[in-house]
Amino acid sequence: MMSEAGVRVKVPASTANLGPGFDTLGMALSLYAWIEMKPADTTEIHLYGDQMLGIPTNKNNLIYEVAQSVFREAGVDLPELEISMYSDIPLTRGLGSSASAIVGTLVAANELIGAPLDQAKLFDMATALEKHPDNVGASLFGGLITAVWDGSHADYLRIEPPDDLEVLVAIPEFQLSTAKARQVLPEQVSLGDAVFNISRTSLFTAAMASGRLDLIRTAMKDRLHQPFRASLVPGMARILEEAAEHGALGAALSGAGPTLLALTDRREGKGTELEHFLLGVLNEQGIEARTIWLRPCTQGAQTLTITKGEQFIDSIKGEIRA
Ligand code: HSE
């Protein structure tokens, strides 16, 4: 049954890997995108905000294509749609912008037709599109997730991030595609490096689950991807090495980068020093960047109520950053 009033979904950004958990760990962040979908006579796509510049507004738009896949999977006739989207999540910076668009669209399209698909199915569809479950899992379920993908099905466990955890992201001006950041990775790794990462990923997950923030510094180290990606983000190696001396619990490349992420304990109040350190190191390398303080977002993609007669952009104006 099609909802005539339409559906609006708010979906969080995410960071993947958190250092050692390559392609398995993801955490939702308090930075958001909104997607609205309504049945229409002809398909129209409205994109708002600077992050959306240059994205197609015809039926080649990712959102439109992903919505069609939900209707096909549910065996529903493909409807014409009026789609609106606004995002505060910067594109190709390692903060899960495409994952949030995919998850927001899957949830909205599914809700529009009475939610015939369950969350597990939406997670599998999202992971098949992204090829790894970390960002999409975090955007769909919120919190911190650890996930496994076998090529057709994803299993996951969601952990509530500790209350005192804060996240500082330093977002470079330049873009870095995930494809490029994966091309630099080796096909094979040594047993020693595999053990190094398995042990730290396990420790990180257990430390988060039990609130042991003191273990984050050791647990966030990685040998599988960051050393190879360091050349793509000048200054990164020094930030990962020294951030803990400037107030971070630990630091990592956010997803495939180029954003750098530092976790902090908000009770320690060392944010200003850390922010100066991150920006200073990047600026020394000639990289312009901006910082944003975020919190882990404990809620995944959520469906919002649409008030009759209210315009999409007016209704989210109080919540957006721009
Ligand atoms: N786990 C992925 C990677 C995340 O590091 O390539 C990309 O968004």
For residue range 199-213, what is the model confidence (pLDDT) as tens digits?
Answer: 999 999 999 999 999
Whether residue 148 sits in one domain with residue 286: no
Distance separating alpha carbons of residues 180 and 1, to the nearest angstrom: 42
Whether residue 178 sits in one domain with residue 285: yes
- Is the C-beta atom of 256 inside 6 A of ligand 1? yes
> What is the distance in A from the centroid of ligand 1 to the CA of 107?
22
Whether residue 203 sits in one domain with residue 153: no
On whether residue 194 sits in a domain, the answer given is yes
Distance separating alpha carbons of residues 301 and 156, to the nearest angstrom: 16
Nearest-atom number in ligand 1 for the CA of 134 is: 1
CATH of the domain at 116: 3.30.230.10
On whether residue 321 sits in a domain, the answer given is no
Q: Provide the pLDDT for residue 322.
A: 67
For residue range 164-195, what is the model confidence (pLDDT) as tens digits?
Answer: 999 999 999 999 999 999 999 999 999 999 99
Whether residue 197 sits in one domain with residue 132: no
> What is the distance in A from the centroid of ligand 1 to the CA of 274?
25
The alpha-carbon radius of gyration of the chain (Å, integer) is 20
The burial class, CB within 10 Å (0-12 / 13-18 / 19+), for 58 is: exposed
- Is the C-beta atom of 208 inside 6 A of ligand 1? no
> What is the distance in A from the centroid of ligand 1 to the CA of 5?
36
Whether residue 186 sits in one domain with residue 134: no
Distance separating alpha carbons of residues 142 and 29, to the nearest angstrom: 8
Distance separating alpha carbons of residues 37 and 8, to the nearest angstrom: 6
Q: Provide the pLDDT for residue 310.
A: 82
pLDDT at residue 294 above 80?
A: yes
Confidence of residue 137 (pLDDT cuts 50, 70, 90): very high
Q: Provide the pLDDT for residue 314.
A: 87
Whether residue 20 sits in one domain with residue 65: yes
Q: Provide the pLDDT for residue 78.
A: 80
For residue range 90-115, what is the model confidence (pLDDT) as tens digits?
Answer: 999 999 999 999 999 999 999 999 99
Whether residue 268 sits in one domain with residue 238: yes
**Which residue, among 42, 106, 103, 123, has the nearest Cα to 71 in the 3D structure?**
106
The neighbour count for residue 185, using CB atoms within 10 Å, is: 14
Q: Provide the pLDDT for residue 278.
A: 98
Q: Which domain holds residue 112?
A: 7-160+297-315
On whether residue 301 sits in a domain, the answer given is yes
CATH of the domain at 290: 3.30.70.890
**Residue 261 CA to its chain's centroid (Å):** 12
> What is the distance in A from the centroid of ligand 1 to the CA of 143?
18
- Is the C-beta atom of 255 inside 6 A of ligand 1? yes
Whether residue 133 sits in one domain with residue 27: yes
**Mean pLDDT for the chain overall:** 94
Parallel, antiparallel, or unpaired: how do β-strands 44-48 and 81-87 relate?
parallel
For residue range 25-70, what is the model confidence (pLDDT) as tens digits?
Answer: 999 999 999 999 999 999 999 998 877 767 777 777 888 899 999 9
On whether residue 1 sits in a domain, the answer given is no
- Is the C-beta atom of 23 inside 6 A of ligand 1? yes
Whether residue 79 sits in one domain with residue 18: yes
Task: Give the Å distances, CA to CA, from 244 to 173, 217, 277.
Answer: 24, 7, 11
Confidence of residue 23 (pLDDT cuts 50, 70, 90): very high
Whether residue 23 sits in one domain with residue 130: yes
- Decide which of 316 and 290 is more confident: 290
Q: Provide the pLDDT for residue 305.
A: 82
> What is the distance in A from the centroid of ligand 1 to the CA of 245?
27
Whether residue 304 sits in one domain with residue 268: no
> What is the distance in A from the centroid of ligand 1 to the CA of 17?
7
On whether residue 2 sits in a domain, the answer given is no
Question: What percent of the chain has pLDDT above 90?
Answer: 83
- Is the C-beta atom of 222 inside 6 A of ligand 1? no
- Is the C-beta atom of 201 inside 6 A of ligand 1? no
The neighbour count for residue 315, using CB atoms within 10 Å, is: 16
pLDDT at residue 269 above 90?
A: no
Q: Provide the pLDDT for residue 2.
A: 75
Whether residue 302 sits in one domain with residue 156: yes
Nearest-atom number in ligand 1 for the CA of 181 is: 6
Confidence of residue 126 (pLDDT cuts 50, 70, 90): very high
Mean pLDDT of 225-245: 97
- Is the C-beta atom of 135 inside 6 A of ligand 1? yes
Count of domains in the chain? 2
What does the block give as tokens for 239? 């930030």
pLDDT at residue 6 above 80?
A: yes
pLDDT at residue 146 above 90?
A: yes
The neighbour count for residue 94, using CB atoms within 10 Å, is: 30
On whether residue 322 sits in a domain, the answer given is no
> What is the distance in A from the centroid of ligand 1 to the CA of 224?
12
On whether residue 219 sits in a domain, the answer given is yes
Nearest-atom number in ligand 1 for the CA of 225 is: 5
Q: Provide the pLDDT for residue 234.
A: 96
- Is the C-beta atom of 22 inside 6 A of ligand 1? yes
